Amino acid sequence: MDRLVPAEGQKKMQFIHWDLDRKEFPVNVSQFDQIFMLDIIEHLKRPEEFMDELRFATGCKRPEVIITTANIGFFATRLMLLLGQFNYGKKGILDATHTRLFTFRSLREFAPAIRLQDSRRARHSAPYPKALRNQFHQPAPGLG
């Protein structure tokens, strides 16, 4: 198993497994300059409450919060809906563990509701070949 080795002078990275639907945080979040929520928000039971708690816990510091989430308005999902398919799976946009789904617009509307400044937005291209293979259950070339 490979280990991450910090560069000289850097601190070791610490991993804490924690249920984010709990009210309290396992660390003092006000000590951070940035908080990354990479494909997390769609799994929370009450994302607005979580973000309110996070804002409160950071105090006056106001770290930069980076949020990413899948776009339920993705063309492959829309196509499948058009064809009468809305199937949850083990991964992807319709991951069975998702409790809240967002579009670009609903995520932008979510930011002011939780008093976040939507200062930068970036849209990233989806992995189209992988998405289409998963939607139609076709194996990848050479795998099957």
pLDDT of amino acid 112: 67
So what's the pLDDT on residue 130?
Answer: 59
**Residue 142: inside a domain:** no
Q: Are 43 and 70 a contacting pair, CB within 8 Å?
A: no
Q: pTM of this prediction?
A: 0.65
Cα separation, 9 vs 12, in Å, equals: 10
**CA–CA dist 58, 29 (Å, integer):** 6
Whether residue 135 lies inside any domain: the answer is: no
Q: Which residue has the tokens 């008093």?
A: 115
pLDDT tens for 98-122 read: 888 888 888 878 776 656 555 555 5
User: How confident is the model at residue 44, as a pLDDT?
Assistant: 92
Q: Assign residue 39 the CATH number of its domain.
A: 3.40.50.150
Query: If DSSP codes are grouped into helix, strand and coil, which group holds residue 78?
Result: helix
Q: What is the pLDDT of residue 143?
A: 44
Q: 66 — phi, psi (to 5°)?
A: -105, 120
> 84 in the Ramachandran plot: left (φ > 0), alpha (ψ -120 to 50) or beta?
left
Number of domains present in the structure of the chain: 1
Q: Residue 114 is part of which domain span? A: 31-120
- In this prediction, residue 139 carries a pLDDT of 47
- Span 38-58, pLDDT tens digits: 888 999 999 988 988 888 888
Structural domain contains residue 15: no
